[in-house]
Amino acid sequence: MKSLRADYELYPPSTAKTEEEHIGAVKKKANNLLSTGKYLHGEPDDQGRASNFAHRALKNITLAFYYANTSKCLCQFLEFQEYVPYKALVLVTVMVHTLLSLFRKYGIDKSAQVNLQDIKEGYIVLNEAISNVLDHPHHGPKLNMMLVDWAQMGMYVLIWID
């Protein structure tokens, strides 16, 4: 949760003095991220085009979840050693979307209120979105390359720590 809050800057500005102002500011930030899709976008590429499913929060959470230490068994599978599987990225993205939705609604951490129906609905939508990106002649290869890079980073850190 700390990574999510930090990477998406879900903190109130220093000018917010009351709890109501704090909550309102966080709600506004979360709403902006979700309504614009910025929670998905990383830095633009060398052509100035969006990098989909590339936000540093998605990267940080994906690496922490799947590659953080040897007790994480998924990185032991060859597929995860070569690239981050699409469905693994979709799962992380759905969780981020769901948590941001809770911040948009409440303005505070309500992660204990995540429910299965929201996860299922988000998974369907975001799985279709990643399929659309993969089908795109520019963004598809870029996403594939990024997922290979992420897996290499995850495996390097895992090997380095061991």
Dump pLDDT digits (tens) for 145-162: 999 999 999 887 655 444
Dihedral sign for Cα 132, 136, 138, 144, please: positive
| Alpha carbon distance 75, 62 (integer Å) | 11
Residue 162, pLDDT score: 42
Dump pLDDT digits (tens) for 53-69: 999 999 999 998 888 76
- Higher-pLDDT residue of 33, 73: 33
Dump pLDDT digits (tens) for 9-35: 999 999 999 999 999 999 999 999 999
| Alpha carbon distance 136, 52 (integer Å) | 11
